[in-house]
């Protein structure tokens, strides 16, 4: 074996180890945020508001979407959102709309964050503010298909949940960045 092949193999093994470490960090962070979302929904009396028609306005889900979409990426953010919905629904602090509501917001935040990471890395935290695009226009439209009431009714409810949540998520990302924790720690 010549020295070049040996060095290439060594570099490839080091890269695989580094990738595994980053994936492990993202998975652990997703698990922590699932726990935070469940705790916020169960033990905070002001965490959600039940509305006529079944949905529960839960800004903390969008707070978590904004943070996870930026920090750990689209797939882990969607998994986090799904995990929170799975725990909230059976205990009655989440409705069926928590599934598509959270996942659509996390999907948009994660995609926009990834685009900003490649084009304008200085502004990645602003991706958290895009949660309402997915939550309102995608998830609320799905909600109207599931429970046809009025599209604007659903858009208003989902906006009431996602707008305050994404603003809080953006503020938290700025605080975390100031403390030295950003998306660069996970990729």
pLDDT in tens, 71-112: 999 999 999 999 999 998 888 777 888 899 999 999 999 999
Q: Residue 170 to residues 22, 128, 150: CA-CA distances in angstroms?
A: 23, 5, 30
pLDDT in tens, 24-41: 999 999 999 999 998 888
Domain boundaries, the chain: 3-185
Cα–Cα distance measured from residue 157 to residue 81, given in angstroms and rounded to the nearest whole number: 18
- CATH hierarchy code of domain 3-185: 1.10.1760.20
Task: Please report the pLDDT score of residue 57 as a whole number.
Answer: 79
Pick from 105, 117, 53: nearest CA to 80:
105
Cα–Cα distance measured from residue 71 to residue 30, given in angstroms and rounded to the nearest whole number: 10
pLDDT in tens, 167-185: 999 999 999 999 999 999 9
Pick from 66, 68, 135: nearest CA to 102:
135
């Amino acid at each position: 074996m010549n020295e070049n092949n040996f060095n290439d193999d060594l570099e490839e093994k080091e890269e695989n180890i580094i990738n595994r470490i980053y994936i492990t960090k993202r998975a652990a962070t997703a698990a922590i945020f699932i726990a935070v979302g469940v705790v916020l929904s169960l033990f905070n009396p002001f965490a959600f508001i039940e509305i006529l028609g079944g949905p529960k306005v839960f800004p903390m889900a969008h707070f978590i979407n904004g943070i996870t979409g930026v920090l750990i990426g689209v797939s882990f953010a969607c998994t986090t959102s799904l995990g929170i919905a799975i725990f909230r629904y059976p205990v009655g602090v989440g409705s069926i709309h928590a599934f598509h509501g959270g996942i659509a917001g996390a999907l948009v935040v994660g995609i926009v964050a990834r685009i900003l990471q490649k084009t304008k890395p200085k502004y990645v935290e602003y991706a958290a503010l895009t949660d309402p695009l997915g939550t309102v226009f995608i998830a609320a439209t799905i909600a109207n298909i599931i429970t046809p009431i009025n599209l604007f009714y659903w858009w208003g409810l989902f906006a009431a949940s996602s707008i305050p949540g994404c603003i809080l998520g953006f503020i938290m990302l700025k605080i975390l960045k100031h403390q030295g924790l950003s998306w660069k720690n996970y990729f």
